[in-house]
Every structure is written in structure tokens, then in C-alpha cells.
A and B are shown apart, each in its own frame.
Chain A
Amino acid sequence: MYQKVLLYVDDRPESAKAAAEALRLARTCDARIFAAWVLPQTDTPVPIRPRRRAGIRKPEPGSAGEEHAWSRLYEIEDDAFEHNVRISLLLETGDRDEKLLALIDSYQLDALLLGTRSAAGWEKLIERSPVTVILIR
């Protein structure tokens, strides 16, 4: 079935579910995971939205810093190691959709797995992806 699965990682709660599903899938198919986090360009203003209470501004999902991104990737790597699953970590910077499509092409990946509450915001990627896109809610 799948041999090389791209797991898109960010700090949404659904992303943790997607990581667990990717490990399950990898164990079932004896697949290798490529876990990728895409940081926004540093010269691009980081989108922020006001928090309703106390006027605290909270970063949008996906806008967390590089160290946080690596932490999350290494947590997933540690889980993968416990389950004997092969995993490579990738930290990219730039446009999310373009980077994911480039990774699929560069590493000849055969599925993209991501955690999201809905397909909204992912339509263009899904339409352009040459491989199966699996959404985990």
C-alpha cells in the first residue's frame, strides 16, 4: 500500500491525532514517515489574531517558532522510535502548500496525511496533490 508517507505537523490538536494515525499506518504498511513542519517566511508578517479574553494575542496555528517546531517533530520521532517506525524530520520555510508539494515530488512520497478540523483552507493543496491526501479530524 503506502511506503513513504508525508505527515504534515503543526500545533493544532488534530495534528497530534494525525501523527498517531501516521504511526499506525506506518506499522501496518511497513511504511516510512517523513514528518514535516513548514514555518512561514521570516520576512512575511506572522498572522496573529486577538484573543477574546484579556486582550492577549495568540499566534495562529502553524506560526510557532522554530524551536517549538523541532520539539514537536522530535516528540513524534521519539514515539516512532518506540514503535520501530522509520521517520525523517523536515523543517521547511515558505509557503505551506508549495513546500508540501515540493516534498512529495523530491522524495517520491505516496500519501499526505494531515490533521485538520475541516478541509477548508486545504482545497488547493488537495486539488494539486499528485498523491492521496488523508485528512484526520
Chain B
Amino acid sequence: MEKLSAMMVQEAVVLDLKAQEKVGVIKELAQLLIDQNLITDPDEFFSAILKRENLESTGIGAGIAIPHARTKAVKQLVLAFGRSLAGVDFNSLDNKPCYDVFLIAAPEEKKSEYIATLARLSKFLRREEVRTDLAQAKTAEEVIEIIRRYE
């Protein structure tokens, strides 16, 4: 499987998300992938990712959310990252706000890579030192470097 750092899209890293609620955050991050021509059908992508989010929150606790979708509207498996300084309510099980949001976009046929990416990212983000470093990153390059360092 490709490394997480290699899946990151530098132009899709936001260190201070403008949106203050979860649908807005998902749209803000998804738009960055659309701007990079990584999504062939934005409407289908939004619909897929929001359908999953509406069924159940992708907030996994500890201030992390991983909204994700596997759909024909995606060209290649990519990651976007957004950091919220104020925190966003993702209806996480621990009832705490999310500060780090990783959005995963995967092509429909890449199921095993998609599952492996979700698993690796979830494990990775449970490490407190990763979250601490991400909170202190000052540039998109630094975010990707932190991921590279710890994965």
C-alpha cells in the first residue's frame, strides 16, 4: 500500500478551517480536491460522503474525524487534511469537538486499499504525539512531513 504521506495532497491541507460545522468542513476539504481535478463528479462525491456521514458520524474520538467515501467520482486514492482551531462538532462518540479532520476520497474499485488507508490512519492518529505535532504545524509541507516521520 502507498504511504499516507504519498496520498496527501499538499494543496488540500488547511491549517485553519473556515467552516465551523461538519458539513461545511467536509465541503471545504472536498472542494480543494475538486480544485485539483481529482474528483470527476463533485455532486456524486458530495452525495457519497454526506450519505455516509449522515448514516453515522466519522468522528472517532480524541478530536479526530475521518470522513470518507469510495465512489466512481474519484480518480485516485487521496487524502485532504483540515485543522480547526476552534473545534467542530462531528457528533463523535466521546462528545468532544474535532480538531483534526482527514478526508479520504477513494475510487470505487479500490476497496482493499481504502480499508487499509482508513485502518492505518486511525491507528496513526491515536498516537498523542502525532496529534500534538499536527496541532503545532505551521505549513502544509510540515503537516506532510509529520505524517512521513511517524508512519
Contacts and interface: CB of A to CB of B under 8 A. Distances in A.
Chain A interface category by residue count? 20 to 34
A68 B116 CA distance: 9
B118 interface: yes
B70 to A, nearest CB: 8
Nearest to B55: A86
Contact of B115 (A66, A74, A85, A87): A74
A88 interface: yes
Interface string A70-84: 110111001001001
Contacts of A43: none
B115 A88 contact: no
A89 interface: yes
A74 B115 CA distance: 6
A67 interface: yes
Contacts of B56: 32, 86-88
A90 B93 contact: yes
B52 A81 contact: yes
A91 interface: yes
B123 interface: yes
Chain B interface category by residue count? 10 to 19
B111 interface: yes
Contacts of B93: 88, 90, 107
Taking each of B70, B93, B119, B126, which has the highest tally of chain A beta carbons within 10 Å of its own beta carbon? Answer: B119
Contacts of B118: 70-71, 74
B115 A78 contact: yes
B101 to A, nearest CB: 17
Minimum-distance CB pairs A-B, first 3: A70-B119, A71-B119, A74-B118
Interface of A: 32, 66-71, 73-75, 78, 81, 84-91, 107
Given A70-B119, A74-B119, A91-B126, 6 more contacts: A71-B116, A75-B115, A81-B55, A84-B55, A87-B56, A107-B93
